[in-house]
Amino acid sequence: MIKNRYFKAVDELQETIRNTQSEAMSEAAAMCAEAVAAGHSIHLFDTGHIIDSEIKNRAGGFNFIRSFKYGLNVDSIARIQDDLEGDKNRSMEGLAEFALRASNVYPGDVMFIGSVSGNSISVVDLALAAQKLGVKIVALTSVTYTKQLNALHSSGKKLYEINDVLIDNCAPFGDAMLDVEGVDRAFIPASGLSAAYIMWTVMAELLDLLLEKGLKPGILGSVNYPENVQYNIDLETLYKEKGL
């Protein structure tokens, strides 16, 4: 049954992560602990593989984890000029530096950047600009996947080459884990499953390290318990005053 194959694939994925990425996850946790203890912020940037939605603003999770998103809205409905379109550069390379300049991201902060391929121009552009600013980068990507792709950014680099800590999400090339007879493409992506597993592992060790430093971070309560509504509001005050 496909269900049982899925169970087995998840078990193997998590075992691989434990066996190969434990040191990197500990390094990420230690880097975050030092940053938080010094009053810096922890940012998440994700291209859609669960890091942001799973970790940020979750009951049972840290309140101090904040997302970073950027983009550019252009209102242009003129016709495409086919004879000139081929020479037009639409990559928006360089936009990340302006986005960081306009943001509340500062030198000494830590930014998790998640991208299974680690190759899109926006991801690489952000990693380069953040490092230039003095932000510490934790890259979460598939090394097997990204090494089979040609670099798209003009720097010739990919995310796995631009970081302070590299965590391999251990997803296969193409992301999907199961070949199933009767369908044309592999089934069930690994990257979201591994991202959640990795990030909560880092968060667990981060809590240990913060407590060892005598710091009590704000952990969000479920708003389905009425008393947690005000509790969570008070945590936001703690965050604004102390970064916890």
Three-state secondary structure string covering 20-36: HHHHHHHHHHHHHHHHH
Residue 52 has a pLDDT of: 74
Residue 47 has a pLDDT of: 82
CA distance 153 to 128: 10
For 80, residues 6+ apart whose C-beta sits below 8 A from its C-beta are none
Residue stretches of the chain with pLDDT short of 70: 49
CA distance 233 to 63: 10
Mean pLDDT, the chain, rounded, equals 94
Residue 205 has a pLDDT of: 98
For 160, residues 6+ apart whose C-beta sits below 8 A from its C-beta are 118, 139, 141, 143, 146, 147, 166, 168
How many helices (H) and strands (E) would you count in the chain? 8, 7
CA distance 222 to 189: 29
Question: To the nearest 5 percent, what fractions of the chain are helix, strand and coil?
Answer: 45, 15, 40
pTM for the whole thing? 0.93
User: Is the Cβ–Cβ distance between 55 and 61 less than 8 Å?
Assistant: yes
In single-letter form, the type of residue at position 195 comes to: A
Residue 49 has a pLDDT of: 66
CA distance 170 to 177: 11
User: Is the Cβ–Cβ distance between 2 and 187 less than 8 Å?
Assistant: yes
User: Is the Cβ–Cβ distance between 36 and 210 less than 8 Å?
Assistant: yes
Structure-token pair, residue 222: 């479920």
Residue pLDDT, tens place only, 159-212? 999 999 999 999 999 999 998 999 999 999 999 999 999 999 999 999 999 999
Residue 81's Cβ-side half-sphere holds a number of Cα atoms within 13 Å equal to 6
The CA distances from residue 62 to 21, 39, 81, in Å, are 22, 15, 50
The DSSP line for 28-68 is HHHHHHHHHHTT--EEEEESSSSHHHHHTT-TTSBSSEEE-
What φ, ψ does residue 196 adopt, rounded to 5°? -60, -45
